[in-house]
Amino acid sequence: MSYITKSPWVIHYDGSSCNGCDIEVLACLTPMYDVERFGIINTGNPKHADVFLVTGSINEQNISVVKQIYEQMPEPKVVVAIGICATSGGVFRECYNIKGGVDTVIPVDVYVPGCAARPEAIIDGVVKGLGVLAEKKAAMKEKAIAVLDTEAEAPAPEPPIEIQVYGSTEPREHGGAHDASTPGKGEA
Ligand code: SF4
């Protein structure tokens, strides 16, 4: 985990599930497994999160919730599908309202198999996700540098067009600007 330069924050959402994987994610936060020792913090705000942990499958009611959480997370971000339900729909796959795994609505970077997924496997999945996060961050940095280089190589902008003045630049006799030596309106 030497590539991590800041504490990764995770956000967790439980879709359509039996809550088995949900409980195992919470177990990772307890003193027994204690992911906070790695600096990993569970947040409830998508705008603060780097890693999206999803348990359970996708159904018609949670599609918009999963999409909204994902879209509110800043780039770069990583999605970890935890358990066989989040991976493919699992035991709920044939149900009338189940669409499938998490990747039916948002891109998934890491799949953690299991029913339920064990805390060790979940922690391993998150660490793999952090590797993907580091790659995405490096790619974004390269892209930003390329854009800056392109801008630096761009030709200098044309100088402004010289304004041509036609006619006299002297103050007019009546109206307009005049100095003290020029009589104004009604002063002649
Ligand atoms: S993978 Fe198994 S334990 Fe996890 S939510 Fe699905 S049915 Fe429950």
Q: Residue 12 has which token pair?
A: 């967790």
Whole-angstrom Cα distance, residue 20 to residue 90? 13
Cis peptide before 76 (omega within 30 of 0): yes
Domains and CATH numbers, the chain: 9-147 (3.40.50.12280)
**Per-residue pLDDT tens digits for 45-87:** 999 999 999 999 999 999 999 999 999 999 999 999 999 999 9
| pLDDT, tens digit, 9 for 90 and up, residues 93-135 | 989 999 999 999 999 999 999 999 999 999 999 999 999 999 9
CA torsion sign for 28, 30, 32, 36 is positive
User: For residue range 136-176, what is the model confidence (pLDDT) as tens digits?
Assistant: 999 988 888 888 878 777 777 777 777 776 777 676 666 55
- Note if the pTM is more than 0.85: no
| Residues β-bridged to residue 60 | none
| 184, pLDDT greater than 70 | no
Question: How is residue 120 written in tokens?
Answer: 């060790």
Residues 6+ apart with CB under 8 A from 41: 7, 8, 9, 10
What does the pLDDT read at residue 141? 87
Report CA(57)–ligand 1 centroid distance (Å). Answer: 9
| Residue of minimum CA distance from atom 6 in ligand 1 | 85
Ligand 1 residue neighbourhood (C-beta within 6 Å): 17-18, 20-21, 55-56, 83-85, 90-91, 115-116
Instruction: Please state, as a whole number, how many other Cβ atoms lie within 10 Å of the Cβ of residue 125.
Output: 23
The whole-chain average pLDDT of the chain stands at 87
